[in-house]
Structure 1
Amino acid sequence: MTFERKLRIIDGGTPPTADAGVGADDTAEQVCVAFASADRKHVDQHFGAAEGFVIYRVGPHRYELMEAAQFGRLDMDGNEDKLAAKIDALADCVAVYCQAVGASAIGQLKTRGIQPIKVAPETLISGLLRELQQELREGPSAWLARAMERRAPNRADRFEAMEAEGWNE
């Protein structure tokens, strides 16, 4: 299965809050998350049968829509082939919010470092984004802290990359 459509946003996002300066969110504090959504406003899809995902970059003081991916309509028929393209579309995400997710999908998502999060039907995406921002400001939960650590460049790797580029002090 492949994408039907993919939209990547070049510029956008919420403005920083009053107590944060422009550019206040350090990239180390930002995460990408996805929402299984047909209307791009609510979490209204089961992961395996999701017609689309919206992907946001979220920091403590701002969030921005990065991508919207649309798939053809699928039934929840147990066909595991449909999961690969969806999981690939979420490669940069630390989590995916959905109404439900099957055991096979959970295993494949977790293997890729993506935490599936089940929410109540018709949950507003904007509310989940604000909750995630608050969590980033107050200190991430255990799963989010681990996800951020996995996504952060390893200190040793950074120095090796600089050396490979011929970086000198």
Structure 2
Amino acid sequence: MKIAAATTDGKLIDLHFGDANRFLIFKIEDGEVKFLEIREKTPIPVNDHQERWVASIDLIEDCKAVLCSKIGEEPTIELRKMGIKPIQLDCDVKEAVKECSNHLLN
């Protein structure tokens, strides 16, 4: 199972879903969290709000959850339709991914 995290520095979950230019992707395997890769989004103008969050969804479509500081109603609905759980929080990336994996695996 893969989990995406919206972060500016790789340490804190600190980005709005649509504002994230990159996502850290973690893989949960045999109960262990492993960093997999960084996925970067092509820059999209700030005024093209819908295109920004649609591009974010395209980057993480194979993930089971996405961790971000904020997320709007429309992207939340679209993610849930795809079976991706959006989780809003402001905390340490490693703690959040581990806690999320515990929750999703149980």
- Where structure 2 has 5 or more consecutive residues not aligned to the other structure, the ranges are none
The structure carrying a bigger strand percent of its residues is 2
Kindly indicate whether the alpha-carbon contact (under 8 Å) linking 2:54 and 2:75 is maintained by their aligned counterparts in 1: no
Give the C-alpha shift of residue 61 in structure 1.
Answer: 3.2
Within 5 Å, which residues of 2 pair with 1:1-169? Answer: 31-71=1-41, 72=43, 75=46, 77=47, 79-120=49-90, 123-135=91-103, 140=106
Q: Is the 8 A contact 2:44 2:51 kept in 1?
A: no
Task: In structure 2, give the amino acid aligned to 1:43.
Answer: I
Work out the CA distance in 1 between the residues paired with 2:59 and 2:79: 11
- Does the aligned pair in 2 maintain the 1:42–1:125 contact within 8 Å? yes
- Could you tell me how far apart the structure 1 residues matched to 2:68 and 2:4 are? 9
TM superposition score normalised by structure 1: 0.55
Count of residues in correspondence between the two structures: 105
Question: Identity over aligned residues, as a percent?
Answer: 27
Contact 2:7/2:24 (<8 A) preserved: yes
In structure 1, the gaps of 5 or more residues are 1-30, 141-169
Across the aligned residues of Structure 1 and Structure 2, the Cα RMSD in angstroms comes to 2.1
Instruction: Give the direction of change, closer, same or farther, for the CA distance of 1:79–1:125 in structure 2 (3 Å limit).
Output: same
Where 1:48 maps in the other structure, the secondary structure is helix
Higher relative contact order (CA 8 A, sep 6+): 2
Contact in 2 for aligned 1:34/1:56 (Cα 8 Å): yes
User: TM-score if structure 2 supplies the norm length?
Assistant: 0.84
